Amino acid sequence: MLGFRVRRQALRHRRAPHRIPSNRHLPTPSMEDYLNDCILKALDAMGGAPDGFFLEFEQPANPDHGDLSCNAAMQLARHFRKSPRMIAEDIVGHLESLPLDASRISAIEVAGPGFLNFRFADAHLSDQLQQIIDAGESFGKTTTGSGKKALVEFVSANPTGPLTVGHGRNAVLGDTIANLLEWTGYDVDREYYFNDAGRQMRVLGESVRGRYMAVVNPDLPTKEIGDEGHKTVVPEPFPEDGYLGDYIEDIARELSQSAGSDLDVDGDVDVFKKAAEKQIFADIEGTLKRLGIHMDSFFNERTLYDSNRVWEIIESFREKDLAYDKDNAVWFRTTQFGKEQDTVLVKSTGEPTYRLPDIGYHADKLDRGYDLCVDVFGADHIATFPDVLDGIRSLGYDADKVDVVIYQFVTLIRGGEPVKMSTRKATYVTLDELMDEVGDDVTRYFFLMRSSNTHLEFDLDLAKEASDKNPVFYLQYAHARICSILRKASETGLDVSGSANLSLLEHPAEQSLIKVMMDLPDAMDRAAASKEPHRISNYLRDVAVAFTQFYGNCRIIGEADELAKARLQLAGAARQILKNGLCVLGIGAPERM
């Protein structure tokens, strides 16, 4: 049954690509592959499994159930017309007569309704630990995305003001997803998409001009705008729906210093718009840099018009009868894709809505040869991005290459109460202010600790607390503590770097620590495949917990030399795991705190 194995691989590839064993970079075949082969041999001896059947393995949540578990007997109950437990016993019988490699598997049990539970041999654990140590800072990297190019588009805030807390979640999510893709082998680019030509930007220019006029002429009359209960005094020429943030005034003041007081305030607002854009972008880039984020490219929506791309798309839609004229506008037949209404692509003014350039932009990305395009959007885009996907699909592109990550909004909590924020009233909290208050690492971590599609409650009081109630502190502290142990050990004359007899690590706390550490590559693959960075922060907490338990149970300095050296290696490996994980999250791994 040689073809069986091949078919299984193909099936797994199609149905669950993220479950492909990720540790192919390791020299020996993974435990899963090994057991897979063995069980298939056993099943062949029992008469063979049905077509299309493939084995599934999982790590039991309960350690009493062993290290790896297989549910084949239950799935094959109907096929063999026997009870799952009997099938399981048969498989075990055949496995024992193979026999299994005792240096890898120490025990097999049949448990519960018919699970096959495998327990790893100690030698396997020390072998794994050695591999972690050898791989060092590249442990956790996988080859899942090797040879593929990915583009992560995120932030993409139009340059109308400083980044806010909401943008922060977007920025940190996008950057970390990009990191995850890099760790899993992709060649990744980070891109920022913006539009500096629309109405928003015109209002921005007018807002700056209004402030500028007041700066150069202090006697300019003023007026009040805003909602009842939240009036703001602004210069007379200030637009009714203008931007009220203080930064507008700063830009106006700088403009008056650099360009003098004679700028033409009656003509085009372009001068003011340009000045604002330049300064705001500088501000945004500064904020991103502080978060450790570097964009590879900034994509201006305007280039899609310059290249005529958007009009070509309209023509292509017309040919397919997906676009038509009505009321002087061009409509997209979104009802064809299950929407309630058609949507406008080009307004009666001749100006496209954002949807059209968005389709063009995604087509452009795919033209650039990316195998995967990740978009990070706020929840307010939730209903609109399907139109874009339908659009590019209609143009003949593979929309499955586009993966949209939606995140829900962020609420800041201070003293147990939500902090009220409104962009319009300029009462929002900027990302810089948030980082000033709680620190850069904490900011990144808090944005990453929860699944992106649930509301995030950002507890400022907890974030500022430097105790183990604060999960970031707990992780960084574990790392710093290991560094301290390593320093101290080398002071007392222990050989920190040399090799050690790792088979001395027999304590349960040592073994469970090794088992958790072995999971890093798999955790990376899962987090990358699902675009869920919070899996890594949860994983790291498990590592830190396992380390703390080891630390509480096993002494290092003061033990017999050989054991001390082995434990030092283990501690050093745990430090490396924490460091690699924190690196993916973009958070510092301090050696001292």
Partner RNA sequence: GCGCUUGUAGCUCAGUUGGAUAGAGCGUUGGAUUCCGGUUCCAAAGGUCGGGGGUUCGAAUCCUCCCAAGCGCGCCA
> Is residue 16 near RNA by the rule CB under 7 A?
yes
User: Which of positions 391-430 make contact with RNA (CB under 7 A)?
Assistant: 406, 408-409
> Is residue 11 near RNA by the rule CB under 7 A?
no
Q: How many CB atoms lie within 10 A of CB 93?
A: 12
Helical (H) or strand (E) element with 324: strand 323-326
Least distance to RNA, CB of residue 198, Å: 5
589: helix, coil or strand?
A: coil
User: Which of positions 493-512 make contact with RNA (CB under 7 A)?
Assistant: none
> Is residue 86 near RNA by the rule CB under 7 A?
no
Residue 150 or 215: which CB sits closer to RNA? Answer: 150
Least distance to RNA, CB of residue 261, Å: 33
> Is residue 64 near RNA by the rule CB under 7 A?
yes
Q: Which of 124, 141, 450, 575 binds RNA (CB under 7 A)?
A: 450
Residue 289 or 318: which CB sits closer to RNA? Answer: 318
Residue 131 or 343: which CB sits closer to RNA? Answer: 343
Q: Which of 383, 400, 415, 497 binds RNA (CB under 7 A)?
A: 383
Q: Which of 17, 113, 286, 508 binds RNA (CB under 7 A)?
A: 113
Please identify, among the stretches 41-49, 77-85, 237-245, 302-310, the one whose residues bind RNA according to the rule CB under 7 A.
77-85
d(CA 61, CA 47): 32
Paired tokens of 59: 């790590």
> Is residue 111 near RNA by the rule CB under 7 A?
yes
Size of the site for RNA (CB under 7 A): 92
Residue 262 or 491: which CB sits closer to RNA? Answer: 491
d(CA 240, CA 237): 9
Q: Which of 84, 162, 166, 242 binds RNA (CB under 7 A)?
A: 84
Interface mask toward RNA for 157-186; x: CB under 7 A? -x----------------------------
> Is residue 344 near RNA by the rule CB under 7 A?
yes
> Is residue 198 near RNA by the rule CB under 7 A?
yes
Q: Which of 2, 6, 61, 560 binds RNA (CB under 7 A)?
A: 61
> Is residue 30 near RNA by the rule CB under 7 A?
no
Distance (Å) of CA 11 to CA 4, 6, 7, 15, 291? 10, 9, 6, 6, 41
d(CA 101, CA 337): 55
Please identify, among the stretches 47-55, 232-240, 367-375, 479-487, the one whose residues bind RNA according to the rule CB under 7 A.
479-487
Q: Which of 115, 247, 370, 397 binds RNA (CB under 7 A)?
A: 115
d(CA 199, CA 241): 11
User: Which of positions 136-155 make contact with RNA (CB under 7 A)?
Assistant: none
Least distance to RNA, CB of residue 506, Å: 16
Measured distance between the N- and C-terminal CA atoms of the chain, rounded to whole angstroms:
59
User: Which of positions 230-269 make contact with RNA (CB under 7 A)?
Assistant: none
Paired tokens of 31: 């435990």
> Is residue 117 near RNA by the rule CB under 7 A?
yes
84: helix, coil or strand?
A: helix
User: Which of positions 531-570 make contact with RNA (CB under 7 A)?
Assistant: 532, 534-535, 538, 541, 545, 548-549, 551-552, 554-557
Residue 19 or 393: which CB sits closer to RNA? Answer: 19
Q: Which of 101, 240, 246, 351 binds RNA (CB under 7 A)?
A: 351
Residue 261 or 384: which CB sits closer to RNA? Answer: 384
Least distance to RNA, CB of residue 221, Å: 29
Q: Which of 9, 222, 454, 490 binds RNA (CB under 7 A)?
A: 454
Q: How many CB atoms lie within 10 A of CB 554?
A: 18
> Is residue 588 near RNA by the rule CB under 7 A?
no
Q: How many CB atoms lie within 10 A of CB 454?
A: 10
The secondary structure of 159-193 as a DSSP string is SSS--BHHHHHHHHHHHHHHHHHHHTT-EEEEEEE
d(CA 283, CA 351): 30
Please identify, among the stretches 51-59, 309-317, 364-372, 429-437, the one whose residues bind RNA according to the rule CB under 7 A.
51-59
Please identify, among the stretches 12-20, 89-97, 230-238, 312-320, the one whose residues bind RNA according to the rule CB under 7 A.
12-20
Residue 367 or 457: which CB sits closer to RNA? Answer: 457
Q: Which of 22, 23, 71, 430 binds RNA (CB under 7 A)?
A: 71
Q: Are strands 417-418 and 410-414 parallel, antiparallel or unpaired?
A: antiparallel
The secondary structure of 129-147 as a DSSP string is HHHHHHHGGGTT---TTTT
Is-cis flag, bond preceding 99, omega within 30?
yes
Cβ–Cβ under 8 Å, residues 330 and 324: yes
The pair phi, psi for residue 233, each rounded to 5°, is -85, 125
Q: Which residues of 241-264 are buried (b: 16+ CB within 10 A; e: fewer)?
A: ebbbbebbbebbeebbeeeeeebe
Paired tokens of 564: 């001390």
Alpha helix locations (H) across 427-519? Answer: 431-438, 440-448, 460-464, 471-491, 508-518
User: Which of positions 264-323 make contact with RNA (CB under 7 A)?
Assistant: none
The pair phi, psi for residue 234, each rounded to 5°, is -135, 165
Rg (CA), the chain: 30
> Is residue 62 near RNA by the rule CB under 7 A?
yes
Least distance to RNA, CB of residue 108, Å: 11
Least distance to RNA, CB of residue 222, Å: 28
